Each structure stands twice: as structure tokens, then as C-alpha cells.
Structure 1
Amino acid sequence: MKGGVKDWPLRLFLALALPSVLLAVWWFASDDSTDVYWPPLRTILTAFPDVWTGDRLREDVLPSVLRLSAGYACAAAAGVGLGTLIGSHRRVRAVCEPALEFVRAVPPPVLVPVIMLFAGIGDTMKIAVIAAGCVWPILLNTVEGVRSLDAVMSETARSYGITGVARLRHLVLPAAGPQIFAGLRQALSIGIILMVISEMFAADNGLGFTIVQFQRGFAIADMWTGILLLGLLGFALSVLFHTVERRVLGWYHGLRDATRRSS
């Protein structure tokens, strides 16, 4: 714990070093730009507060975040639930794996027109698109995590009569936790991409819709502010996810840090 407290300035420096360098390169590379499609970074930063006012954040950013949260939550529940079921039973896995591999190979953006036919063009369609794309990394990583359950731990739990929900709660899910969170981390980036794509189809608000409107209206600097905002949103969600992961998997990270120090 003390080591982690002492290391936080270094970790903060390492986290901010590359973004700072990239912004500096962007600033100086675009400083003399007269290309309408590649405005100077200072122009984009100047336009940012004027574009993303409180009203626009409430009308466009908040609905996008709510759709992302709903789709991501549905994918997490379905992926962990089905992944645990498939990973725990060999016969179920043998039956489902060919179909899962086939469906997983279909790019999620291709499903947007199909989902629109059944779910319409409202929020239900956008949430379904996000969930349909996010579920696969969660499901497959959960299956692998459950399959890799330590045989000794499993036999020990059986010998002590730990079965059913107790076994699932105290053995299976904790043991598969690192793999599950790896899938959740992959799904988060996919969800952000699908959030934007789904809002480009028959939408009237949202980040994707607004960025497309800026592009169609030839407001190029405003369009770039939307892209910057998407990057900031992704970074904020990544930090939030990392915080939750460190809390839920504290035992795992503590064990890994102890192993590194001992080696």
C-alpha cells in the first residue's frame, strides 16, 4: 500500500506524458495550417467551450451516455450469465461453440439495418446495437475463465459440499473474474464505437448525430471538438472502469503485485 502511495506521482507522469507529447505535436504541426479540413488545434480548443455548452451536454452527451450504459449493462448481464453456463457444462459448450463462432464473426455495424427493421429507429435500436456488439468479448472471456477453473480448487469445494449458488459465488465467479473483466474492458471500447455508429442512423440527438450534423454543415472545427469530446469521454470511462476493477479484483492485483516484488 505504501509503495502504491509513493508511486502515484510517477504513475500520473507516465499516464500524462504521451498525451501531452501528442497534443504538443498536434499543436505545432497544425499551427500554420490553412486547410479547412485540418484547422489549427488552437482554433478547435477555442471553439470547444462555445460548442459544448450545458444545454448541448444535456441534450446530446447525456442521452449517448445513457444508451451506452444501458447497452453495456445488458451485454454484461447476458455475457456473464451465458458464459458461465456454457463454460460450466462441456456438452452445452460443444453444442453452442460453432454457432457462437459464426455469429461472433459478423461485424456489429452490419447488424444496424437488421436491428432497425425489428426495433425501429428509437433508443431501443441503439441500445440493442451496443448490446449486440459488446456481448461477445464478455461471453467468450467468461467461457474461458470458467473453463480454466483450477481442478484442485473445484475438487476441494466439492469435498466440502460447496455446490450450487454458493459454489458459483465463492469459487467460479471470483476465479474467472480476471478473464471476465478483460472481456468487459474490451467491450467498453466496442460500446463507445457502436454508440457513435448507431446515432448516425435516423437519430435526432447524441454525439454521433451531432458530429455528423457538424460535418454536413461544414462546421469542421466544431466537428473536431466532438471528436475530442469522444476521446475525453472514452478516457473518463476507462479511468472509471480501472477504479472499479481495482476494487472488485483487489485480491488479484494484490497477489500479482506481491509476486512481482518477490521475484
Structure 2
Amino acid sequence: MSGPVSGVMVRRSFGRRLVWYWLLPVAVLAWELAARSAQAAYFPPPSRIVVRLHEMWFSGPPGRAFLTDEAVADLLPSLARLFAGWAMACVAGVLIGVALGRSRRLSALVEPLLHFGRSVPPAALVPVFLALFKIGTPMELASIVYGVIWPVLINSMDGARHVDRQYIETGVVYRLNPWQRLTRIILPAAAPKIFAGLRLSVSLALIMMIISELVGSSEGIGHRMLEAQSQFDIPAMWAGIVLLGLLGIVLNTAFLGVERLVLSWHRGARNGG
């Protein structure tokens, strides 16, 4: 790409980011003014939401990272279930997906069942998990795993299935054993597709965490939001929504950083570096 064209594209990209950086404060200010003007009971101004958010979860002692007792009781268990369920779903999805992607016979047998399973909305099975596991962590983990595994599995299967045949033939020429072909050829070649599924699964894990806690939990962010709703504590309910949005941004940003680090070789090869 020539220098002038590249410079123009960089300036345009920077201009778009600058617009978005200004758009959020303007939207928050508009929300603040509209909420104070309308005096709507169910739409408090952002300033009240932020104050309630701080009171509930981040007004604790400095020695505990400013976490309150409510944060320790609700925020930490929610995050633990989120990461545990996401990790289990990702490991199972990658293993099953790669196995199906490399075996046509196995894929032909199992793939119709996979498409049926991923067509069932995960939230519809929460009552089933509740009946099987009762209220508690096992039910919530089962809900998260079921909701998260599908994009990881499908992307892993697609990535493993479409590995360039020349790569496989090169491994045969160099007499690589099956384990070496898997770790040195198949997984690296399928990694971009696998990471695309992993990125989708992060937001799904957050969604399923909240759904499971709203239905069958005695602790967690979702349970706290449900309790705030029953007590008509509207700022606390909105504080939970804002906290979930912030968690989503942090998790997505962290995952993008890991993805750039792990797939740096892929970007370099794609850009001709």
C-alpha cells in the first residue's frame, strides 16, 4: 500500500474513533438532562446510577481493592462461574470441533444433532437444568456451558476441516506423527477460526451467567438485580446493568489483547510481513 493512501486511511480511522469518543459523553449528558427533566421513576439519571454503583460494590476498604461485602458476595462468585463455565465450554468445544472437522465419517453422524442442539435457545433449557441440578452453581455452570459451546465448536470444526491440504501433505513428507500434525499444522491453521468462536463465546457467557442467576441463584449480579427489582430499588437495578456493560467491555478488550498476541504471526503473514 502506498504511503499517501495509507496516511489517508489512518486519518479517516482516527477521525471515526474520535467521533465515537465524543459520542458517548454526549449521549450520557443527554440522558442525564432528559432523566432530570422527565423525573421518570424507572429511568434515573446516570449520576444517581453511578453513585448507587459505587455504594453497592466499590466503596469498600482499600486493602480489599475497594470491594464491598456485597461485591465479595455477588460480584466475585459471578465472575468465578463466568470464567469456569467459559473455560469448560471452550476446551470441550475446541476438542470436539477439531475431532469432527478432521473426521468426515464422525462429522456426518454427529453434525445433524449439533445443528439441532445449537438451534435450541439456551435460555429455554434453563428450567431443564434447574430441574436436574436444583438451585446452585452446577445448574448455572451447565447453563453457561450449553450457551457458550456452540460458536466455539462450530468454528473449531470449520477451521479444522478447511486446513490447506498442502500443509497436511508437507507433514506427511516430514513424517510427523498424528500428535505433531495436530499441534504444529492443524491447530495453528485453524486458530483464526477458533479465536473467532472464542470471542463470540465471551459475550454469550456473560449473557448466560445473568440468565441463570435470574432464574436459579441465591447470589450473584443477576440475583442482586432481581432483588433490587422486587424492592423497587431502580438505581440499584440500573447499576447492575451498567456493571454488566462495563464487564463486557473489559472482557472483550482483554480477549482482543490476547488474540492479537497469540495470532500476531497470522496478521504478519496476511499483511505480507
TM-score for both structures, normalised by structure 2 = 0.87
Distance of 1:27 and 1:253 partners within structure 2: 42
Distance of 1:34 and 1:242 partners within structure 2: 40
Cα displacement (A) at 1:180: 0.4
Do the aligned partners of 2:151 and 2:197 also contact (CA within 8 Å) in 1?
yes
Tell me which stretches of 4 or more aligned residues in structure 1 moved more than 4 Å: 9-15
Amino acid across the alignment from 2:123:
P
- Residue 106 in structure 1 maps to residue 120 in structure 2: yes
Amino acid across the alignment from 1:124:
P
- Residue 163 in structure 1 maps to residue 187 in structure 2: no
Stretches of structure 1 lacking an aligned partner (at least 5 in a row) = none
Distance of 1:14 and 1:97 partners within structure 2: 44
Match of 1:58 in 2: 72
Cα displacement (A) at 1:52: 1.8
Stretches of structure 2 lacking an aligned partner (at least 5 in a row) = 1-5, 59-66
Which of 116, 130, 148 lines up with 2:144 in the alignment?
130
Cα displacement (A) at 1:147: 1.0
Match of 1:206 in 2: 220
Match of 1:23 in 2: 28
Distance of 2:260 and 2:170 partners within structure 1: 27
Cα displacement (A) at 1:253: 2.1
Match of 2:46 in 1: 41
SS at match of 1:184: helix
Taking only aligned residues, the RMSD between alpha carbons, in angstroms, comes to: 2.0
TM-score for both structures, normalised by structure 1 = 0.90
Match of 1:180 in 2: 194
Give the direction of change, closer, same or farther, for the CA distance of 1:65–1:158 in structure 2 (3 Å limit): same
Q: Percent identity among equivalent residues?
A: 40
Amino acid across the alignment from 1:49:
H
Which of 53-62 and 83-92 deviates more? Answer: 53-62
Cα displacement (A) at 1:18: 4.3
Distance of 2:87 and 2:208 partners within structure 1: 14
Residue-by-residue CA offset, 1:29-68 (whole Å, 9 max, x unaligned): 3231311011122221222211224222111011000001
Which of 134-143 and 11-20 deviates more? Answer: 11-20
Match of 1:120 in 2: 134
